[in-house]
Structure 1
Amino acid sequence: MIREVQEKDYEIYMELTKEFYESDAVLHPIPESHRKAAWEEVMRSKDYVQAYILEEKEEPVGYGLVSKTFSQEAGGMVIWVEELYIRSAYRGLGLGKQFFSFVEREFSSMVSRLRLEVEPENQRAKELYEKIGYEILDYVQMVKERNAER
């Protein structure tokens, strides 16, 4: 099951996001303050970001985070699948596919494009994303950090 996070989910959200940022799926860990700021924004409104808990037999086993932006290139709203994390014991059960199907249904009427990032070494994730229709872009992304805390 996939459901939106609720205020009662703070501890499990922080636990799951910590596991994600300590995993090989990311380039580097982030400070707890960044995860708390994301939580506060999720609780504040649905304007920019929404978070979901993935459950198996009513037990939280992962989470997903999506954000919204507008793209002239895409001709409208873009949903970014910012993060998807599933605990290792629950991988391979179809939860990732379920989450992507959920996101497509949830946002289908308002978006022109779905987008995500994946670390080049995360072959398992890349294979899933390509299997469900995502294509590799030839973009080089660049970043200029405004918050130096890491």
Structure 2
Amino acid sequence: MHFSIRPVREADRETFLTMSREFYGSDAVLHPIPEAYHTATFEELIGSERYLKCLLFEAEGVAAGYALLNFTFNHEAGGRVTWVEELYVRPAFQGRGCARQFFTWLEEHFPAARYRLEVEPENERAMALYHRVGFEPLPYAQMIRDRDEAAE
């Protein structure tokens, strides 16, 4: 299978939006997100790569998935951290090495002191894959405070 990775482009709008909706409609996430979030994310991707970068996966010329990356600097890690914010491989392409190839590509093209991602504990297939490519659980609990909830 010929597999390639490239940055998302304006012409990929509908492809990205469709796959983003698929991802947020899957068991890989806690809950769906509002439609406006999909569009806002794409606008940020096209407008700037300052905070977020999207990579489109193609297999045999067909959109097979995508990855959203965020970049930070982390004192504890001693350098740049690349967050794999989202990693989605369409069901027809799962189990065919797309994600494993992505992680190899990621290290070659975005060297970092640390790579980080989140995974639902129930997503055992993804957790097993991440472990095989070198990820390990962190003993931290994460906490969030969304702006809308803080204002209430």
Place the TM-score, normalised by the shorter chain, in its bin: over 0.9
The amino acid that maps onto 2:126 is A
The amino acid that maps onto 2:11 is K
The amino acid that maps onto 1:41 is E
Inter-partner Cα distance in structure 1 for 2:69 and 2:102: 11
Inter-partner Cα distance in structure 1 for 2:136 and 2:81: 15
State the match for 2:6 in structure 1: 3
State the match for 1:65 in structure 2: 68
After TM superposition, list the pairs within 5 Å mapping 1:1-150 onto structure 2: 1-108=4-111, 111-147=112-148
Inter-partner Cα distance in structure 2 for 1:147 and 1:35: 18
For the aligned residue pairs, the C-alpha RMSD in angstroms reads 0.9
1:60 partner SS: strand
Give, in angstroms, the shift of residue 55 of structure 1.
0.7
1:81 partner SS: strand
Deviation readout 1:70-128 (Å, 9 max, x if unpaired)? 111111211000111111111010000011111111111xx211000000000000000
Q: Which runs of 4+ in 1 moved over 4 A?
A: none
Give, in angstroms, the shift of residue 14 of structure 1.
0.1
TM-score of the two chains, using structure 2 as the length reference? 0.93
Inter-partner Cα distance in structure 1 for 2:121 and 2:10: 34
How many residues align? The count is 146
The amino acid that maps onto 1:139 is Y
Q: Which runs of 5+ in 1 are unaligned?
A: none
**Percent identity of the aligned residues?**
48
TM-score of the two chains, using structure 1 as the length reference? 0.94
The amino acid that maps onto 1:93 is R
